[in-house]
Structure 1
Amino acid sequence: MTITRRDFLNGTALTIAAGLAPSALLEAAAQGTSQRAAAASAPVAATGSASPYPPALTGLRGNHAGTFTLAHSLAREGATYPTVLAQESYDLVVVGGGLSGLAAAWFYRRKFGAKARILILDNHDDFGGHAKRNEFTVRGRKLVTYGGSADMPASAAGNAAVRTLLAGVGLDATRAPALPQTPFAALGMGRAVYFDAEHFGRDGLVAGDPFADLIDARATGGGTRPTPDVLQRFVDAAPLAAQERAALLKLAAGEVDYLAGMAPGDRANYLARTRYATFLRERAGIGLGGLRFLRSRSNDAYALDADGISVGEAIAIGLPAGAGMPAPVLDPRLGKSPASRLWFADGNASLARLLVRDLVPGVVSGAAAAGRPEDIGRAAFSYGGLDRDGNAVRIRLESTAIAVEPDVRITRVTYGWRGNLHRVEAQHVVLAGYNMMIPFILPTLPAAQKDALRAEVKAPLLYTKVALDNWRAFAALKAWRMHAPAMAYTDLWLEPPVAGSPSALATPDDPAVLHMLYVPTVPDSGMSVRERFRAGRALLLGTPYDELERGVRAQLDRMLGAGGFVSRDVIRAITVNRWAHGYSYMPSPLMPDDAALQTALAQAGKGIGNVRIANSDSAGSPSLTAAVEQGWRAVDGLVAVG
């Protein structure tokens, strides 16, 4: 599936034609964002009416309606816009209000003073970028979760920029805040794997998931490695042929060197240049059923399946590859790995909130305005106060930058907002959006820098959150976390549920949020990483919300039906966080041309004139560590304008 001139938003096609007047494009963008609340809340709504408070909106979120209208008009259609007069001036303009952009503003004030006037522009209706917060209200109880960037990577404590930032907002990089306890273990609930009939011959939920336990034990050096009898019982229950079961057990045992006799140099090259799926098929003797069982184990870490990662990348996250292989060493570039940890119920959205609390006075009300950072998740935020006259720092949402023009002493930034073009002047500019868009809004960059930025094709994925009236079906099935290796949503798990009273432990009768992960891979295609990401992005942008909702309900009814689950009776709201541009591109060992990409990105990050580039893309990493460090580097490279 390809998309050229049409993106489908909530089932309504918004056509961006090359001949459409710029004024019409601006109006289309404004209309898309102004209608987001009604469109997002229409299919399934939480208790109460649609709210203008962005975290509580349901339906299609993430890259929601209106966020990319102007961007696509530039990149896909080559649209041009008239010049307008500048009406405001700032010391710093930040394009992109995600973690990197917010961090850049925070570091800028430390370097140039608290009185520095800063404008942060973001094309979404909420700040935080991928650090998105989702909220539901079910039976009067608030359910808080994350819609994107969630975990604090293990590398955070060792990074000077992250330590400085966290300390500045009152957090200790070495100590995670305590999260609510879960009742799952006390109820005898664990993991399970769902095999679907289309790929495995019959539908069935098999209790346990020793391969997940094996991966976790190998990757982190902790946990419990499954015993041979546990592995045997699991594969015996799986709908796999006898030959498949034997090959999987041999692979899990880790006693066979599948590359025996290969010279060390050749072995290292093989691990870097060979797809994990190819290794499983040609070296480990894993057939089609076994490949289908293992192929999506890397989706959460890389947004790629076994055919899209190298053997070395598979080993790094704990996937089995037999004897004689290097020990798993987690790549610090990963945004999500077995060693990363969730610090807050809303993930890294709480960090974004803490930064906004520091940057914009009066936006947080109540005790959390000056209270403990752990309380920020319960704080009331005034979105109307983000862009207020008189504040030194202003955050202007639903604003898409379309032109950045550096001059000797000032830089002019043009952006679309509320159906009109606006222009501001600044001494410094930090571009903290997607790398792929920068060549279009900053065309004066040297060609080599633009080529490097265009190479950063981001990974698409969906984080779908389902608000449940109760989780009785999961308790009945004795499973709180499930892996569905060949279905659309390959991984789903219950988040810590909300108990009926503050002092009680939640029961299956209480509301909860279900997390569901969907990565649109192209299995067994042999496509390059960039080709896979582009194809997946087209699929996500071309699938209307109502179709996504039907898919969620159908998969849950099918997987949980044996436990008495009926979606129409249990589901209270659905939020689909669509990240058509999700994980930052990580240079791949399967792509020889990527070897020099990081050096080129470092050069591109220097920008031009008084413009610097800050985002996790420039680090070739989707991690929070990369986002914060790039914000610090960008500001560090700026000098006072005399």
Structure 2
Amino acid sequence: MTITRRDFLNGTALTIAAGLGPAALLRAADADAATAAYPPALTGLRGNHAGTFTLAHSLAREGAAYPTVLAQEAYDLVVVGGGLSGLAAAWFYRRKFGPKARILILDNHDDFGGHAKRNEFTVRGRKLVTYGGSADMPASAAGNAAVRTLLGGLGLDATRAPALAQTPFAALGMGRAVFFDADHFGQDRFVPGDPFAALIDARVGTPPGGGTARPALDTIGAHLDAAPLGAADRAALLRLAGADGGIAGTATRTADAAGAASPGLASGAVDYLAGMAPADRAAYLARTRYATFLRERAGVGLGGLRFLRSRSNDAYALDADGISVAEAISIGLPAGAGMPAPALDQRLGKSPASRLWFPDGNASLARLLVRDLVPGVASSAGKPEDIGRAAFDASFDYGRLDREGNAVRIRLEATAIAVEPDTRITRVTYGWRGNLHRVEAQHVVLAGYNMMIPFIFPSLPAPQKEALRAEVKAPMIYTKVALDHWRAFAALKAWRIHAPAMAYTDLWLERPVAGSLSAAATPDDPAVLHMLYVPTVPDSGMSVRERFRAGRALLLGTPYDDLERGIRAQLDRMLGPAGFASRDVVRGITVNRWAHGYSYMSGTLSPDDAALQTALAQAGKGLGNVRIANSDSAGSPSLTAAVEQAWRAVDGLAAIG
């Protein structure tokens, strides 16, 4: 990959200068390293883009050492990481220690919010706004004291989601569809409907107002008959779908091994673990991969496995070979009779029961926090009683984030490389615009990736460092495509498409933004297409950590040009028969590459995960006046975890006399 000028200034130059004095470092500074005036409007490669990880990788991968510099600033609190957890920690700190507390927030990206990024496009004079990462509010958020306190303090009701615009898709007869690609299924085939997704939604329960009825078995059978799958796989999948939920007495058609229609298989639910003792059954569900269960117990062949394998990508960033049967059941995937009812894991960052509160996802929450922490940074837009809309509509002046005289300063493109606690103060060294800088603080909250903390905080006890390094984050890409129109989707009668074995396994048109921004009410209007890519390393048999590391290497090693070509090629292949041509329809692409995405969730497939959460709780206590926040510490990628960990970290800090 080409090393950009920003990449050089944010790390490479410092590596070269590691043995030089302050004067040489000063000469390395360059005013041109300042970020663009408004980062959300930047397109191309975002998320973990060039320049955000160079210094961190020099520490973790190369063991680079940097010279000591003198501290030039002092604060009550330094927060390392400007994501939701870091911003919430600053907010809770002011609530505890008073609004005059001086706080510096450091973040290695060119925008605040961490994974809660905002993407913007302008197409034919219309502003299209969407999320680049953290999007949903978990169903359990309203029951969490930290979340209720934070949202209430910002003027939001944790029990009531802001009203979002209705989509025009149902009125146009548009629904779901599945695209089977020739590379994995023998032929390219677009099949309307997606009853397996509807089955999942019906079992788990969708957000209020979005309930889905359980599909009839004849609907599932008709869908499978249209799919390029072998007769045995169609029969096995229909048995699996029919058995689940115990649809007793329903007359239906199934295919026998020869492909002939035969009635009545669903008249009795199939228990694939019949005769297994309850304790053994529970152990089997916890310790067996879902793909193994499908293959060995449900009789699903290779084609059927490919059909089902990526249904868990959005929830876990893992395919059917990377999750247990119990984890599959928890998000509504079918497993037959005699199984526990779906019970969503509250650690999930995204699930069928989570909901989108704002069109730009949790970026609006980050904007609310910044607006509260740094007065004057945002214009006052919208009605006072509609605080969520006001945050969404407001314009932000990034030049005001880090001004002398602000009680709270947010310093972007600043990567912490050393945290050194002393008796009464802690010193934090960071790289910023080609220079090394050092600040002193009474308190420090580390709210960045847990796996980096052992490298920047070497005095932490070894057991705590070991636990933090085990938090290998899940890689993924959220690609946003600005479309001039969405006529092809309307022609195909599909607003959401599942492509089970392609790079981007899930694509959907996003809802229009009501009010002053855009109104995608007809297929002739501009819209944003969301595309999900999770490099799951299918059929590898790797452990979760091995999968995440391999996927991360793949994402970081793929140039943007290759990613863009792949995006356009997949869209042209899937939508071309409906008249879509990317060269004519695509008006902008933002690839939100999260090489370090979802927080690692301990599971039962990895024996060494059993004590991980206890070790993380101990590690989060930090050392001296340093505490550790971030959702990683909760073993959960959810917004609830990010906020709760910030609350806990600040609660553990004591005033210094």
Please say whether Structure 1 and Structure 2 have the same fold, judged by a TM-score greater than 0.5: yes
Residue correspondence of structure 1 range 317-336 to structure 2 within 5 A:
317-336=331-350
Change (3 A) 1:94 1:536: same
Aligned to 1:611: 626
Change (3 A) 1:9 1:342: farther
Amino acid at match of 1:250: R
Aligned to 2:18: 22
DSSP 3-state at the match of 2:610: helix
Kindly indicate whether the alpha-carbon contact (under 8 Å) linking 2:425 and 2:443 is maintained by their aligned counterparts in 1.
yes
Kindly indicate whether the alpha-carbon contact (under 8 Å) linking 1:33 and 1:66 is maintained by their aligned counterparts in 2.
no
Q: How big is each residue's C-alpha offset from its partner over 1:547-605, in whole Å with a ceiling of 9 and x where there is no partner?
A: 00000000000000111000000000000000000000000210011010000000000
Aligned to 1:377: 392
DSSP 3-state at the match of 1:380: coil
Aligned to 2:356: 342
Aligned equivalents of 1:573 and 1:449: distance in 2? 44
Q: How big is each residue's C-alpha offset from its partner over 1:134-171, in whole Å with a ceiling of 9 and x where there is no partner?
A: 00000000000000000000110010000000000011
Aligned equivalents of 1:602 and 1:512: distance in 2? 43
Residue correspondence of structure 1 range 66-465 to structure 2 within 5 A:
66-220=51-205, 222-254=211-243, 255-367=269-381, 372-374=386-388, 375-465=390-480
Q: How big is each residue's C-alpha offset from its partner over 1:244-278, in whole Å with a ceiling of 9 and x where there is no partner?
A: 10000000012210000011111000000000000
Aligned to 1:45: none
Aligned to 1:540: 555
Kindly indicate whether the alpha-carbon contact (under 8 Å) linking 2:413 and 2:432 is maintained by their aligned counterparts in 1.
yes
Kindly indicate whether the alpha-carbon contact (under 8 Å) linking 1:17 and 1:77 is maintained by their aligned counterparts in 2.
no
Kindly indicate whether the alpha-carbon contact (under 8 Å) linking 1:125 and 1:398 is maintained by their aligned counterparts in 2.
yes
Amino acid at match of 2:220: L
Change (3 A) 1:606 1:502: closer
Change (3 A) 1:265 1:307: same
Kindly indicate whether the alpha-carbon contact (under 8 Å) linking 1:10 and 1:545 is maintained by their aligned counterparts in 2.
no
Amino acid at match of 1:326: P
Kindly indicate whether the alpha-carbon contact (under 8 Å) linking 1:9 and 1:541 is maintained by their aligned counterparts in 2.
no
Is 19-28 or 553-562 further displaced after alignment? 19-28
Aligned to 1:600: 615
Following TM superposition, by how much is the alpha carbon of 1:504 offset from its aligned partner in structure 2, in angstroms?
7.0
Aligned to 1:44: none
DSSP 3-state at the match of 1:381: coil
Kindly indicate whether the alpha-carbon contact (under 8 Å) linking 1:26 and 1:70 is maintained by their aligned counterparts in 2.
no
Change (3 A) 1:26 1:626: farther
Aligned equivalents of 1:139 and 1:267: distance in 2? 58
Kindly indicate whether the alpha-carbon contact (under 8 Å) linking 1:151 and 1:341 is maintained by their aligned counterparts in 2.
yes
Following TM superposition, by how much is the alpha carbon of 1:501 offset from its aligned partner in structure 2, in angstroms?
9.0
Aligned equivalents of 1:397 and 1:311: distance in 2? 42
TM-score (norm 1): 0.93
TM-score (norm 2): 0.91
Change (3 A) 1:171 1:84: same
Residue correspondence of structure 1 range 498-537 to structure 2 within 5 A:
506-537=521-552
Amino acid at match of 1:291: L
Kindly indicate whether the alpha-carbon contact (under 8 Å) linking 2:147 and 2:644 is maintained by their aligned counterparts in 1.
yes
Amino acid at match of 2:159: T
DSSP 3-state at the match of 1:589: coil
Across the aligned residues of Structure 1 and Structure 2, the Cα RMSD in angstroms comes to 2.3
Amino acid at match of 1:233: A
Kindly indicate whether the alpha-carbon contact (under 8 Å) linking 1:59 and 1:575 is maintained by their aligned counterparts in 2.
yes
Following TM superposition, by how much is the alpha carbon of 1:360 offset from its aligned partner in structure 2, in angstroms?
0.4
Aligned equivalents of 1:273 and 1:11: distance in 2? 48
Q: How big is each residue's C-alpha offset from its partner over 1:371-397, in whole Å with a ceiling of 9 and x where there is no partner?
A: 632221110101000001111000000
Is 96-105 or 218-227 further displaced after alignment? 218-227
Aligned equivalents of 2:28 and 2:49: distance in 1? 11
Change (3 A) 1:487 1:629: same
Following TM superposition, by how much is the alpha carbon of 1:33 offset from its aligned partner in structure 2, in angstroms?
9.3
Amino acid at match of 1:600: A
Percentage of pairs with the same residue? 82
Following TM superposition, by how much is the alpha carbon of 1:503 offset from its aligned partner in structure 2, in angstroms?
10
Aligned to 2:257: none
Aligned equivalents of 1:68 and 1:355: distance in 2? 25
Aligned to 1:4: none
Partner of residue 578 from structure 2, selected from 560, 563, 567: 563
Following TM superposition, by how much is the alpha carbon of 1:21 offset from its aligned partner in structure 2, in angstroms?
3.8
Change (3 A) 1:607 1:212: same
Aligned equivalents of 1:21 and 1:384: distance in 2? 29
Following TM superposition, by how much is the alpha carbon of 1:17 offset from its aligned partner in structure 2, in angstroms?
11
Amino acid at match of 1:22: A
Following TM superposition, by how much is the alpha carbon of 1:208 offset from its aligned partner in structure 2, in angstroms?
0.1
The question of 1:481 aligning with 2:496 is answered yes
Aligned equivalents of 2:370 and 2:409: distance in 1? 10
Aligned equivalents of 1:269 and 1:33: distance in 2? 58
Aligned to 1:574: 589
Amino acid at match of 1:338: P
Q: Where does the alignment leave 5 or more consecutive residues of structure 1 unmatched?
A: 1-6, 38-50
Kindly indicate whether the alpha-carbon contact (under 8 Å) linking 1:11 and 1:545 is maintained by their aligned counterparts in 2.
no
Aligned equivalents of 2:283 and 2:31: distance in 1? 49
Q: Where does the alignment leave 5 or more consecutive residues of structure 2 unmatched?
A: 244-268
Q: How big is each residue's C-alpha offset from its partner over 1:437-466, in whole Å with a ceiling of 9 and x where there is no partner?
A: 000000000000000000000000000000
Q: How big is each residue's C-alpha offset from its partner over 1:14-61, in whole Å with a ceiling of 9 and x where there is no partner?
A: 7969984437998999889939x7xxxxxxxxxxxxx63100000000
Kindly indicate whether the alpha-carbon contact (under 8 Å) linking 1:86 and 1:424 is maintained by their aligned counterparts in 2.
yes
Amino acid at match of 1:314: A
Kindly indicate whether the alpha-carbon contact (under 8 Å) linking 2:6 and 2:51 is maintained by their aligned counterparts in 1.
no
Q: How big is each residue's C-alpha offset from its partner over 1:415-456, in whole Å with a ceiling of 9 and x where there is no partner?
A: 001110110000000000000100000000000000000000
DSSP 3-state at the match of 2:611: helix
Aligned to 2:39: 54
Aligned equivalents of 1:27 and 1:470: distance in 2? 50
Residue correspondence of structure 1 range 7-18 to structure 2 within 5 A:
none
Is 364-373 or 442-451 further displaced after alignment? 364-373
Amino acid at match of 2:33: S
Aligned equivalents of 1:317 and 1:56: distance in 2? 34
Aligned equivalents of 1:55 and 1:28: distance in 2? 31
Aligned equivalents of 2:460 and 2:108: distance in 1? 22
Change (3 A) 1:11 1:331: farther
